Structure 1
Amino acid sequence: MRRRIGRVSAAVVAGLLLAGGIAGCGGEDRVPREVAAPAGLPTELPAEAPADQPSEAPPAVEGMGAAPSATASRTAKPTTKPKPTRTVAGPLPTPKPPTETRVPPPPPKPAPSGCEPTYKGTQATRSQVKAALGDAAAKTYWPTSAPDIKIPLTLLKATAWQESGWQSNIIACDGGIGLMQVMPATADWMNQRFGQSYDINDYQDNAYLGANYLAWLTKYIGDMYFESDYRLDASLCTDELNSCLLNAIISAYNYGHGAVAQEGEPLAIPNPQYVRNVRALMTECVCLSY
């Protein structure tokens, strides 16, 4: 969820990807990215979370070191929110004002050159990580205002692989923590924004924070540029990276919402290689078979 420059971990990611027969899914050199700290799917929020709030990745390994009314009639039929009907493809050239005015903190400073990540505690097994990501992808994050927002499991798996190689106990030089490489400041913001108490150091909570951040980005950018059409379908994307919401939230998870979506400005994708990496991992990652 941050931008960073990496070099040492590049070999690690390359090895992991090659092990799965993936080509062209390695990391890229990048500058510090905003906490995509996980922030960030399909069931209602936990009981402790407010009703109209979402319930409940670090860059690639290479970038981690050196990288109704109560009196309603019984016959009344429930109403459903109509699906958005868009008449144009791609994002709006001039975005609408954001509906979410409380935003995550800015990105961290770049990690020192040559810095190596550290590790704390016991690493979760692949089966544990798989289960945690599956649970996070099974929530409805905006049950009242945007219940149709869903974060694809393949997106979560790919992002976690790009960010940490599914290492739950890794701490990057820029401060990103765990599976989804959540920044502490972003985790605090997400917990306050949505009335939660997720522990960034717990691999399950870390997965929820990352998924919650992706869900927040989906609503934030979807409302501004896509007329509240929250579909994260790869089929909606063209060769132009700024053509679809899926690419936009992947980019923003790495570089921060402010680098991708700005009032009065066209949608931007400042980190094309990162987006291509995650998109490739969504269909080719060895992690999909775990």
Structure 2
Amino acid sequence: MVRGVKLRAGVVGIVTVFALSGCLEQAPVGAAEPGPVATTAAAAEETPEVRALAQEWGAAPTPSATPTPKESATTRPPSKPKPKRKPPVETKLPPAPPQPPPAGCKPTYEGTAASRAEVKQALTAAAGRTYWPTSAPSIKVPVNLVKATAWQESGWQSHIVACDGGIGLMQVMPDTAAFVNQRFGQSYDVRTYTDNATLGANYLAWLIKYFGDVYFERDYTLVSSGDCASHTAPCLINAVIAAYNYGFGAVDTDAGLVIPNPRYVENVRALMTNCECLSF
């Protein structure tokens, strides 16, 4: 799973069913801008320095007039400033991702698999919950995001356990399940497919609020067009998907918001509209 909290490849592609990962603005240069050229007798001489300034200003030098410099590149505002990071309000953050599993490890299975109809119902119910009823009641986890994440993570196999410890539909790590239960005062059972779906959706809701608070002025809108058309763009939906797979700390960095796993983000976003699971 919450995978959000662990490093793993996830189930790859929309055509293939799945493959579990567990096993299977630059600061301005601090140099002073050039000042105006003094209008002295020496200025009448076309020296290399004068020619260089003339080329920079786009005009031929004259001995009697001082060219007016164009706006310096160092003073131009960026065309699209990146989101600015604000201090997080959360006092307790999710656990770090686990170590990668040993090579050649294969997943195991526990109990009986839920049917696709049962899984669909569980994922739909999980997406329909309001996880922040007081501080952010507007946050809703799109049902297609929950379904696509579950398909990417497990192929909707409710009884699978990955080599890195991810459990069930949403591949929730035990430590992440404990974090979500403690943070929200719940007691969801990570090994029960209905609760597993809820834990995964709950963690997605936590990520939406966290990144919305820290980078997007408490705007929790998940969009996939405009500035967010690319799966590499530092927008909210990309941050949430990336953090579910790699852990929030790999996305919320000292350098700002980054997308360290664009292929995973691309897969999930594609599955949100083209997954065969949407027709189940």
TM-score tier after normalising by the smaller chain length? 0.7 to 0.9
When structure 1 is superposed on structure 2, of 99-108 and 277-286 the one drifting more is 99-108
Corresponding residue number in structure 2 for 1:72: none
Counterpart among 247, 251, 256 of residue 260 in structure 1: 251
Deviation at 1:89, TM superposition (A): 7.0
Q: Provide the C-alpha distance between the structure 1 equivalents of 2:82 and 2:243, rounded to a whole number of angstroms.
A: 15
Corresponding residue number in structure 1 for 2:232: 241
Q: Which has the larger radius of gyration?
A: 2
Structure having greater relative contact order (Cα 8 Å, sep ≥ 6) = 1
Deviation at 1:233, TM superposition (A): 1.7
**Contact 2:141–2:201 under 8 Å retained in 1:** yes
Query: What per-residue deviation string (whole Å, max 9, x for no partner) do you get for residues 143-187 of structure 1?
Result: 111111110000000000000000000000000000000000110
1:165 equivalent in alignment to 2:155: yes
Query: What per-residue deviation string (whole Å, max 9, x for no partner) do you get for residues 40-95 of structure 1?
Result: xxxxxxxxxxxxxxxxxxxx5241322xxxxxxxxxxxxxxxxxxxxx97851x30
Unaligned runs of at least 5 residues, structure 1:
20-25, 27-59, 67-87
Corresponding residue number in structure 2 for 1:106: 96
Unaligned runs of at least 5 residues, structure 2:
25-78
Identical amino acids, percent of aligned pairs: 61
Query: Helix, strand or coil: the match of 2:146?
Result: helix
Q: Write the letter of the residue equivalent to 1:234.
A: S
1:271 equivalent in alignment to 2:268: no
**Contact 2:231–2:266 under 8 Å retained in 1:** no
Corresponding residue number in structure 2 for 1:65: 23
Q: Provide the C-alpha distance between the structure 1 equivalents of 2:269 and 2:231, rounded to a whole number of angstroms.
A: 13
Deviation at 1:192, TM superposition (A): 1.1
**Contact 1:242–1:267 under 8 Å retained in 2:** no
Query: Helix, strand or coil: the match of 1:106?
Result: coil
Corresponding residue number in structure 2 for 1:138: 128
Which segments of structure 1 move beyond 6 Å, counting only runs of 4 or more?
none
Corresponding residue number in structure 1 for 2:271: 281
Please give the TM-score of this superposition, normalised by the length of structure 1: 0.72
Q: Provide the C-alpha distance between the structure 2 equivalents of 1:144 and 1:89, rounded to a whole number of angstroms.
A: 33
Deviation at 1:3, TM superposition (A): 1.7
Counterparts of 1:1-290 in structure 2, within 5 Å, are 1=3, 2-4=6-8, 17-18=14-15, 61-66=19-24, 92=83, 94-236=84-226, 237-239=228-230, 241-262=232-253, 264-290=254-280
Q: Provide the C-alpha distance between the structure 1 equivalents of 2:204 and 2:134, rounded to a whole number of angstroms.
A: 17
Q: 1:89–1:280: structure 2 CA closer, same or farther, 3 Å change rule?
A: farther
Query: What per-residue deviation string (whole Å, max 9, x for no partner) do you get for residues 117-159 of structure 1?
Result: 0000000000000000110111111111111111000000000
Q: Write the letter of the residue equivalent to 2:22.
A: M
Q: Provide the C-alpha distance between the structure 2 equivalents of 1:265 and 1:205, rounded to a whole number of angstroms.
A: 35
Deviation at 1:203, TM superposition (A): 0.2
Query: Helix, strand or coil: the match of 2:15?
Result: helix
Deviation at 1:190, TM superposition (A): 1.0
Q: Write the letter of the residue equivalent to 2:234.
A: S
